Amino acid sequence: METLNHKLNTYFETWMGPRDKRVQGMLLLDNYLPTFALTVMYLLIVWMGPKYMKNRQPYSCRGLMVVYNLGVTYLSLYMCYELATTVWHGGYNFFCQNTYSAPEVDKKTI
């Protein structure tokens, strides 16, 4: 598995260039294999889901969808808040800024 992961990372780095050093150690950003596996799983579900449900009654997911929509709404508000505070306290501007101008804010942890 480690060999496949190394080969996949090497291939993508030669194709797209080196990765940003600030994302080392972050979930789904440090290696390409987990992201690739999740993408393949998603495509299989999208492809096989309609075939599985072809002769079945539809499921009622109303309660689950309400919880999901509330969670996504709260997550979006949190991300908007974090973006605004990081831009404000980091001294960012939106015109021609170097990506390494505020390294302590770039590596902000929860």
Q: pLDDT tens digit string along 27-80?
A: 887 777 788 889 999 999 999 999 999 999 988 999 999 999 999 999 999 999
C-alpha span between 68 and 21 (Å, rounded): 33
Q: Where are the domains of the chain?
A: 1-59, 61-110
24: left (phi over 0), alpha (psi -120 to 50) or beta: beta
Average pLDDT rounded to a whole number, residues 106-110: 59
Whether 90 shows a pLDDT value over 60: the answer reads: yes
pLDDT band at 3 (very low <50, low <70, confident <90, very high): confident
pLDDT value of residue 76: 98
